[in-house]
Amino acid sequence: MISDEIRRLHELHQAGALSDAEFEQAKAKVLAAERVSLEKNRGDAGGAGGTGAPGGGFEAQLRSLRRLRGDRWLGGVCSGLGLTFGMEAWVWRLIFALLTLVTSGLGAVVYLLLWIFVPEE
């Protein structure tokens, strides 16, 4: 499955439909999605260290949150949030920018805290 997706991306790249940067970004997203899928499957199969939340849900998503190296502007926080919560990274960047402007810098503080405390992939 994943090898088929990467092969298709490679074919698009070779045909000139994707630039080098677009190819690398798309490949990173496919690999990251597969990693998240594997982590979810591993957690559903009887995950050790559960704190009583049977389905996982939001808590499991927070535990799987990682800062991405591939699609980053500063620290990779927004791309990690986008991957974890199924949103585009630009939406998170917009949220942080608006939160920073509207709340006198709170968005920047939250971003910095996430940059410090969220591990890199």
Is there a single domain that holds both residue 40 and residue 88?
no
Enclosing domain of residue 111: 65-121
Is there a single domain that holds both residue 26 and residue 44?
yes
> What is the separation, in whole angstroms, between the first and last Cα of the chain?
22
pTM over 0.85: no
Is there a single domain that holds both residue 17 and residue 46?
yes
Q: What angle do CA 92, 60, 96 make, to 5 degrees?
A: 15
- Domain tally for the chain? 2
Alpha-helical runs (H) found in the chain: 2-15, 20-44, 58-64, 77-85, 89-102, 106-117
Print pLDDT tens along the chain (121 aa): 667 777 887 888 788 887 888 878 888 787 777 776 666 665 554 444 444 444 457 667 667 677 777 776 787 788 888 877 788 888 888 988 898 899 888 888 888 888 887 777 7
Is there a single domain that holds both residue 45 and residue 75?
no
Is there a single domain that holds both residue 76 and residue 45?
no
Is there a single domain that holds both residue 52 and residue 77?
no
Are the C-beta atoms of residues 25 and 8 closer than 8 Å to each other?
no
Is there a single domain that holds both residue 47 and residue 69?
no
Is there a single domain that holds both residue 50 and residue 69?
no
